[in-house]
Homo-oligomer: A and B are copies of this chain.
Amino acid sequence: MSKLRVNAFSISVDGYGAGPCQDAENPVGLGGLALFEWVFGTRTFQRMHGGGGASTGSTGIDDDFAARGFDNVGAWILGRNMFGPIRGPWPDLAWRGWWGDNPPYHVPVFVLTHHARAPLEMEGGTVFHFVTGGIHEALARAREVAAGKDVRLGGGVATIQQYLRAGLVDEIHFAIAPVLLGRGEHFFGDLDLPALGFERSEHVATAHATHVVFTRR
């Protein structure tokens, strides 16, 4: 059964999933990079972004969680701000995502937006599809191409909240970073995850993050 999963979703102690003032220089907002310190040193991240060889980066719990996020994933869904800093109509087609020519997805990625755009084929198997019909359409299309594999919901905060409230998320893994952000995209406060059926299925902490997985009954 294909699941809709959130993996490696990093939040601060004070519940922020991104800092404020996202722009081209600050893809996860001011101060937001601190949320991801647990992942930067892992072998999974280093292989994908670091340009290191197969033996670069740490193994262990943090790496296992980072790696697990790519297991059995047939498609991704992203909110538009996860794709780029542009708001409103596309001024041109110059913006091709945060990741360069070869993004780390290697499968179809469905980007939620109010502004239509032709699919964008990148190197390495990633194809960005721009979905203007809302979260249900994006999930239906992602499930179709995933062909039995899971769909990973990458973020951001508002997109994950929408899918959670619609009762569509099966599993969510939080990596709690030992930092405060103070401002930005707050994840909790009006989101009742127990009422939505979530129960803890895993809990393990490292020196860099506390990993907690909640699964929907």
A: which residues have CB within 8 A of B? Answer: 13-15, 31, 174, 176, 178-183, 186-189, 191-195, 198, 200, 203, 205-207, 210, 212, 214
B15 touches A189 (CB 8 A): yes
Asked whether, in the complex, the Cβ of A212 is within 8 Å of the Cβ of B182, the reply is no
When chains A and B are docked, how far (Å) is the Cα of A13 from the Cα of B191?
12
Contact B180 A200, beta carbon cutoff 8 Å: yes
Q: Is chain A's interface secondary structure helix, strand, loop, or mixed overall?
A: loop
When distances are taken between beta carbons in the complex, the residues of chain B under 8 Å from A189 are 14-15, 186, 188-189
- Who on chain B is nearest to A16 by CB? B188
Q: Tell me if A14 and B191 are in contact (CB < 8 A).
A: yes
The answer to whether A178 and B13 touch across the interface, beta carbons within 8 angstroms, is: no
Q: Is the CB of A182 within 8 A of B195?
A: yes
CB < 8 Å neighbour of A193 from B14, B174, B178: B14
In the complex with contacts A205-B210, A210-B210, A13-B194 CB distance below 8 A: no
Q: Is there contact, CB below 8 Å, between B180 and A194?
A: yes
